[in-house]
Amino acid sequence: MKKHSVALDKTGQFSNFFLDYLEGKEELRPFYAHLPALDSFEDAIHLKEFSPERRNLLVEALTDQYAGIELHEKVSSAIHSLKDPKTFTVTTGHQLNLFTGPLYFIYKIVSTINLAKKLTATYPSYSFVPVYWMASEDHDFDEINYFKMDGKKFQWNSSQTGAVGNFELDKSFKEFLKSVPFAADFFKEAYTSSKTLAEAVRKYVNHLFQDEGLVILDGDHPGLKKSFEEVIHSDLFEHKPSKEASKSTKALEDLGYKGQIYPREINFFYLNKGIRERIERNGDDFAVLNTDLRFSKSEMEALVKDHPERFSPNVVLRPLYQEIILPNLAYLGGPAEVVYWLQLKGVFDLFETPFPILLPRNFALLIDPLCRKKIDQLDWSNEDLFRDHISWKKEFVIKESSIDVELSKQKELVSAIFEKKGEEAAHLEKSLQDAFEAGKVRSLKILDQMSRKLRKAEERRLEIQINRAEAIQDFIKPNGSPQERVVNMMQFYLSNPDLIDKLLACFDPLDFRMMVLDL
């Protein structure tokens, strides 16, 4: 696989907020603990205190979650190494997309695995375990119930509600599975041998990355939630996390940065079979929205103590939950994720929890041989792939035209004639200058019409090259969105079964550039 790199600010795909963070803009320094750099990890290691009790709890939870799955030696070794005080994790997380969803799901995990390898080589006295956090508690089914491949959408429709990780792979799913006969066998095995979506995702992710020692963690676990009891109580009854997150959000907005997430007074959902709904407070009483569930203050306090697993953090508190239950040093996420973490440092400080190093996942564009051939025929550079297509076409037609389709000289000449004669006519009658100005406008409009006709004629003459460019655009930006955010891995994996190995060989989690990879 041939690798080319393009600066992120040349792609037009990233916000100034995100780019300013990567560049270390001074105004943003109060909102995070460490620069996104390799030498930051030494400080992060020394700051991360993680008790033996929490390590044992984590290993017990993972052992429980992997029950029934034959563990690869590297995964088993990684899990048990978490009891060692010199073992740390680096983590990424994502929703339970069908068949992995968009390519960047894979990119997140590959980036995380390679970071663990780089840290192991740099700090040989310590061990580093890559972790994939399954967002099994998420309830936005419409965001994950499909995948796209070769321009077609494959979708599972279900009437189930609540946390998607608990969705049963029922008759409706079996019917959906029949619509994807081309799917890789390990996907089919994962889905047909599992009762729930979370179980299936664990199995297929484990199949793809077990050779790399990836550990898969589901935060939806009673023992792990018990260690989050202090935060649950503080959020429900004192609303301290909301105050801290709102303070940071306002400070960022005062600097001109738009917040990515919006803290609420209560940042937990009530979680139970078929339910994941927001909790709201009214005086000393609590209500679960869209249900008949109501709790007094004392009942809610008892529920927190006896059933912490029924409280599911929203986006404001999920990062803190992750850092409390893991000996974690870094989080790798997409551009929106990285910047919303910057709204949360005050929440971490409130609970005296070290803020991890924030790193972007790797960004990549996969180019197959046919697409590369078209690119070469147009003599495009890799930077040209990220140009606005409409601007490119306009410039291309002007450059390749046999005549001046803009009629620039003619417009200048017509303008000059009307302006000169209008000035002369004004000496006879002042209103005539306005008449000549109106005539100039009408004439220029006619020339604009003629220019458009000439442009269309030239576009027809250059149809082959323009169609070629549009085919490239459809490949790298289907429906106008970057390939990695739309296309499923199977579009490339089925013809390149060593795709994961190739990505592992190319990705560098500390190289913050867009990769253009030739398959």
Answer with the residue of higher pLDDT: 478 or 422. 478
Cα separation of 160 and 195, whole Å? 14
Mean pLDDT taken over the chain? 94
Q: What is the SS3 assignment for 210?
A: helix
Per-position b or e across 238-269, b if 16+ CB within 10 A of its CB: ebebbebbbebbebbeeeebebbbebbebbbb
pLDDT digits over 203-239, tens only?
999 999 999 999 999 999 999 999 999 999 999 999 9
Based on the fold, state whether residues 142 and 280 are members of the same structural domain.
no
Q: Tell me, yes or no, whether 295 lies in a domain.
A: yes
If you average pLDDT over residues 393-419, what whole number do you get? 78
Cα separation of 153 and 478, whole Å? 12
Q: What is the SS3 assignment for 369?
A: helix
As for how many domains the chain has, the answer is 3
Based on the fold, state whether residues 391 and 253 are members of the same structural domain.
no
If you average pLDDT over residues 161-174, what whole number do you get? 96
Cα separation of 195 and 89, whole Å? 29
Last residue of a domain, one of 312, 345, 379: 312
Based on the fold, state whether residues 28 and 79 are members of the same structural domain.
yes
Q: How far apart are the two ends of the chain, measured CA to CA in Å?
A: 5
Task: Examine the pLDDT at 407 and tell me if it is beyond 80.
Answer: no
pLDDT digits over 486-515, tens only?
999 999 999 999 999 999 999 999 999 999
Q: Tell me, yes or no, whether 234 lies in a domain.
A: yes
Confidence at residue 19, expressed as pLDDT on a 0 to 100 scale = 97
Going by C-alpha positions, the residue among 251, 311, 295 that lies closest to residue 32 is 251
- What's this model's pTM, rounded to 2 decimal places? 0.90
Based on the fold, state whether residues 336 and 379 are members of the same structural domain.
no
Confidence at residue 285, expressed as pLDDT on a 0 to 100 scale = 95
If you average pLDDT over residues 460-487, what whole number do you get? 92
Confidence at residue 402, expressed as pLDDT on a 0 to 100 scale = 67
DSSP string for 165-195: GG-B--HHHHHHHHT-TTS-HHHHHHHHT-S
Q: What is the SS3 assignment for 338?
A: helix
Based on the fold, state whether residues 349 and 473 are members of the same structural domain.
no
If you average pLDDT over residues 415-429, what whole number do you get? 84
Residue type, 384: D
Q: Tell me, yes or no, whether 11 lies in a domain.
A: yes
Cα separation of 368 and 475, whole Å? 9
Q: Tell me, yes or no, whether 68 lies in a domain.
A: yes
Based on the fold, state whether residues 304 and 172 are members of the same structural domain.
no
H/E stretch holding 482: none
HEC per residue, 86-137 = CEEEEEEEECCCHHHCECHHHHHHHHHHHHHHHHHHHCCCCEEEEEEEECCC
Confidence at residue 321, expressed as pLDDT on a 0 to 100 scale = 98
Q: Which two tokens stand for residue 12?
A: 């037009």
Cα separation of 268 and 496, whole Å? 42
Based on the fold, state whether residues 143 and 161 are members of the same structural domain.
yes
Domain range holding 256? 230-312
Cα separation of 18 and 122, whole Å? 27
Based on the fold, state whether residues 349 and 466 are members of the same structural domain.
no
Cα separation of 48 and 246, whole Å? 26
Identify the band that residue 459 occupies on the pLDDT scale cut at 50, 70 and 90: confident
Task: Examine the pLDDT at 453 and tell me if it is beyond 80.
Answer: no
If you average pLDDT over residues 406-421, what whole number do you get? 80
Cα separation of 49 and 143, whole Å? 36
Strands 513-518 and 152-155 come out as: unpaired
Cross-strand pairs, 517 = 3, 366
Q: Tell me, yes or no, whether 58 lies in a domain.
A: yes
Based on the fold, state whether residues 108 and 240 are members of the same structural domain.
no
- Please state the separation of Cα 504 from the chain's center in Å: 19
pLDDT digits over 97-143, tens only?
999 999 999 999 999 999 999 999 999 999 999 999 999 999 999 99
Dihedral pair phi/psi, residue 190, rounded to 5°: -60, -45
Cβ atoms within 10 Å, residue 232: 24
Cα separation of 304 and 290, whole Å? 20
Task: Examine the pLDDT at 405 and tell me if it is beyond 70.
Answer: no
Cα separation of 269 and 289, whole Å? 9
If you average pLDDT over residues 153-166, what whole number do you get? 96
Which residues make Cβ contacts (< 8 Å) with residue 221, sequence separation at least 6?
Answer: 61, 64, 65, 309
Task: Examine the pLDDT at 189 and tell me if it is beyond 90.
Answer: yes
**Least trusted range by pLDDT, from 16-25, 338-347, 453-462:** 453-462
Q: Tell me, yes or no, whether 492 lies in a domain.
A: no
Q: Tell me, yes or no, whether 486 lies in a domain.
A: no
Based on the fold, state whether residues 62 and 109 are members of the same structural domain.
yes
- Distance (Å) of CA 463 to CA 122, 170, 304, 374, 467: 53, 50, 66, 14, 6
Cα separation of 60 and 318, whole Å? 21
Q: Tell me, yes or no, whether 424 lies in a domain.
A: yes
Based on the fold, state whether residues 295 and 255 are members of the same structural domain.
yes
Share of the chain above pLDDT 90, in %: 84
pLDDT digits over 305-345, tens only?
999 999 999 999 999 999 999 999 999 999 999 999 999 99
Confidence at residue 200, expressed as pLDDT on a 0 to 100 scale = 97
Based on the fold, state whether residues 348 and 436 are members of the same structural domain.
no
